[in-house]
Every structure is written in structure tokens, then in C-alpha cells.
A and B are shown apart, each in its own frame.
Chain A
Amino acid sequence: GAGVSQSPSNKVTEKGKDVELRCDPISGHTALYWYRQSLGQGLEFLIYFQGNSAPDKSGLPSDRFSAERTGGSVSTLTIQRTQQEDSAVYLCASSLLGHQETQYFGPGTRLLVL
């Protein structure tokens, strides 16, 4: 079946603008994750959705970052008033049940803030 998809693939924006990144998880996967990866670095956990439970937002770096997951499927990560340090690849992943299982990653969105 289809894997995790993300859009857009690339986004260039000006400092101070808001951006929305979208993630379509694998159908039937109850868990969804957002990560950020700066150039040449490891993955930084941002937020985790599990079913209808309240999301784990412990990784969000500031209140400019927010995410929602509508209908238990598609998720949108929003960054308000973008800063240059927000430039990174934003990766979405989903897993069937929970965070201890194999995660399936999307191709990522490469964000560049000028």
C-alpha cells in the first residue's frame, strides 16, 4: 500500500512568515510523529499523536510550533513567524500502534527560511 506522504517536498519562505507542512500517514496507523533534522544532524522529536489521546508536545521547541491531526489521519505542522534557525528537514512518521514499534517515514519537507 501507499507509504507516508508529505507535502510540500520543499518550501522556501521569508523570515516572519507562517508555514504549514502536511503529513498523510499510512492508512490504519494510529500513531503519528513529527521530527526535525538539521543539516548533518540526528532527528529531533517534535510531537507525537496516538489515537484520540492528547498529543505529546514535549519536543516542540517554542510556542511558534503547533500541530494538529484531524480525524485521526492527516496531520499539519504549523510554524508561525518563521526564523532562520527553523530551516531544516521536517520528517513525519507513522506506526501501526505505538511508539515502540517500527516507524515508517515520509520523504520529508525541506524548509528554508531566508
Chain B
Amino acid sequence: SQQGEEDPQALSIQEGENATMNCSYKTSINNLQWYRQNSGRGLVHLILIRSNEREKHSGRLRVTLDTSKKSSSLLITASRAADTASYFCATDGGAGNMLTFGGGTRLMVKP
């Protein structure tokens, strides 16, 4: 099974609304990363949060990390149609392990 698993698998919202995606993982981590993918092509790194951090912001993105619950959330505020994409979390599994990507959340923002 995957180290990181996102929910929901799909999310549809109206432009201007906030979008929240969650990621759960199983083992301890050094850091957790969120990536975005448009149209099934290359992924773009959004944000990295380290295990000793609880919250991080980047523009309209807000990421939280709860290591006690082994979960993270990605919040996109004031969504735009251009935010339509798939969003993946990736964890390193701690102890120098490889990044493992979850199955992703497909976000659709309707204009």
C-alpha cells in the first residue's frame, strides 16, 4: 500500500472557494512535500514541510502537518480555474527512504 494517501480522491468547487486536501501516511518522516500535476504530465513542486514544522504558507497555499496523527493538509484559498489539477503528497518515509507519492486528489475549480 502507498505511504501517502490523499483524500478526497476528487474535489469539485466553485471559483473563489477554498479547497482542502488531506494526506495520511504510515511511517515516520523527515519531510512531506506537495506537488501539482496538470494534464498527466510533469509534476511541479509546491511546498515542503519538515517534520519539526506544523504549518507553512506560500502565497494562497497553506500546509499543515500533524506528526502525531501522521497527516497533512493542503489548503488552497480563493481558488481559481487555473488551480484545476491533480495534487500529490510525497513522503520520505524517514531514515533516508525514497519519496513515496500518494494517489493524488483531482481538483476541479469551476469558473
Contact = CB atoms under 8 A, between A and B. Distances in A.
Interface string B36-75: 0000111111001000000000000000000000000000
Contacts of B103: 41-42
B interface majority secondary structure:
loop
A27 interface: no
A4 interface: yes
A104 B41 contact: no
B33 A42 contact: no
B24 to A, nearest CB: 14
Interface residues of A, number: 25
A107 B43 CA distance: 8
Interface in A52-94: 56, 58-59, 89, 91, 93
Contacts of B40: 37, 39, 89, 108, 110
B54 to A, nearest CB: 19
A interface majority secondary structure:
loop
B44 to A, nearest CB: 7
Given A43-B101, A45-B98, A99-B98, 14 more contacts: A4-B42, A42-B88, A42-B101, A42-B102, A42-B103, A43-B43, A43-B88, A89-B41, A91-B42, A99-B99, A100-B99, A103-B99, A106-B42, A107-B42
